[in-house]
């Protein structure tokens, strides 16, 4: 394992975060804080508790997950697409660095940035709503697995995309809507039975439900199912990345 190469690529990607601090950290935190102010303080004060949790606190895991998913995808997709755009991807592919080491560096950096952002958003949320975490280790586990899973997904998008506009298509048109419809602002138990069944086909429901359980001990689906589905997504995206490097899809041509 070439740890020097992994560290070099990882540090390069992390350095880009500090160069674009406004876009990478400050902007997402401010945007999410507006949700806390509007939904948590203004609207939340007019809504009854949900399963014994104030509405402002109830939406925190969903909003953290929204930022985590979108930023994981965006960070990883741009990280691998930019070398393709500039042509430096061929230097990486011809260097004595294995495909596994490339993925560890790019995905590791993207996941690190997303986890940092998630923790900052949770700290910010504590300023607006009463926040407590019943299962901190489970919270960190879900945070880590979700960041890794969707950083891998973002890596796939970055390889697939052949233009900057395509980098934004999946996060804007798929990830964000699925997160809003996945129980970020409500429990799916308040939906009619038919729509509860439909909601279970939304993969983000399992991510948000498991993450919310780690905070308050309440969930829309069993926490074991949430964890299992997260691991399934992680395995699926890992297999796709392995296939990309095995075939050279959009990397070697």
The per-residue pLDDT for range 193-215, each reduced to its tens digit, is: 998 999 999 999 999 999 999 99
Q: 77 and 154 in contact (C-beta within 8 Å)? A: yes
The answer to whether residue 252 sits within a structural domain is: no
Q: Which helix (H) or strand (E) holds 210?
A: helix 203-216
pLDDT band at 41 (very low <50, low <70, confident <90, very high): low
* Helix (H/G/I), strand (E/B), else coil: 249: coil
The answer to whether residue 242 sits within a structural domain is: yes
Instruction: State residue 253's pLDDT score.
Output: 60
pLDDT at 44 over 70: no
The residue ranking higher by pLDDT, 61 or 87, is: 61
The answer to whether residue 85 sits within a structural domain is: yes
For residue 106, the enclosing domain spans 3-247
Instruction: State residue 53's pLDDT score.
Output: 85
Query: Which CA distances in Å does 127 have to 33, 38, 49, 64?
Result: 10, 14, 19, 14
Instruction: State residue 174's pLDDT score.
Output: 87
The answer to whether residue 105 sits within a structural domain is: yes
Q: Which residue carries 């990478």 as its tokens?
A: 24
Q: 184 and 66 in contact (C-beta within 8 Å)? A: yes
The answer to whether residue 169 sits within a structural domain is: yes
The answer to whether residue 116 sits within a structural domain is: yes
The answer to whether residue 157 sits within a structural domain is: yes
Query: Which CA distances in Å does 168 have to 156, 174, 178?
Result: 13, 10, 15
Instruction: Tally the domains of the chain.
Output: 1
Indicate the DSSP class of residue 44.
G
Integer-rounded Cα radius of gyration of the chain: 19
Instruction: State residue 42's pLDDT score.
Output: 65
Q: 21 and 120 in contact (C-beta within 8 Å)? A: no
Q: How far is Cα 220 from Cα 202, in angstroms, rounded to an integer?
A: 12
The answer to whether residue 136 sits within a structural domain is: yes
């Amino acid at each position: 394992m070439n740890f020097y190469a992994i560290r070099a690529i990882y540090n390069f990607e992390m350095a880009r975060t500090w160069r674009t601090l406004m876009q990478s950290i400050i902007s997402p935190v401010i945007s999410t804080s507006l949700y806390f102010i509007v939904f948590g303080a203004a609207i939340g004060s007019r809504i009854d508790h949900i399963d014994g949790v104030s509405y402002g606190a109830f939406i925190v895991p969903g909003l953290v997950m929204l930022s985590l998913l979108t930023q994981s995808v965006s960070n990883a997709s741009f990280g691998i697409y930019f070398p393709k755009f500039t042509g430096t991807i061929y230097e990486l592919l011809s260097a004595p660095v294995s495909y596994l080491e490339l993925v560890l560096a790019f995905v590791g950096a993207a996941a690190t940035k997303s986890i940092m952002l998630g923790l900052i958003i949770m700290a910010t949320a504590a300023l607006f709503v009463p926040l407590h975490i019943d299962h901190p280790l489970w919270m960190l586990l879900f945070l880590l697995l979700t960041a890794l899973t969707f950083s891998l997904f973002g890596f796939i998008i970055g390889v697939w995309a052949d233009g900057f506009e395509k980098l934004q298509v999946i996060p804007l048109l798929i990830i964000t809507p699925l997160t809003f419809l996945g129980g970020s602002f409500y429990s799916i138990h308040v939906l009619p039975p038919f729509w509860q069944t439909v909601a279970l086909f939304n993969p983000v429901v399992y991510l948000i439900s498991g993450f919310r359980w780690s905070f308050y001990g309440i969930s829309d689906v069993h926490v074991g199912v949430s964890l299992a589905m997260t691991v399934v997504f992680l395995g699926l995206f890992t297999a796709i990345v392995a296939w990309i490097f095995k075939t050279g899809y959009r990397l070697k041509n």
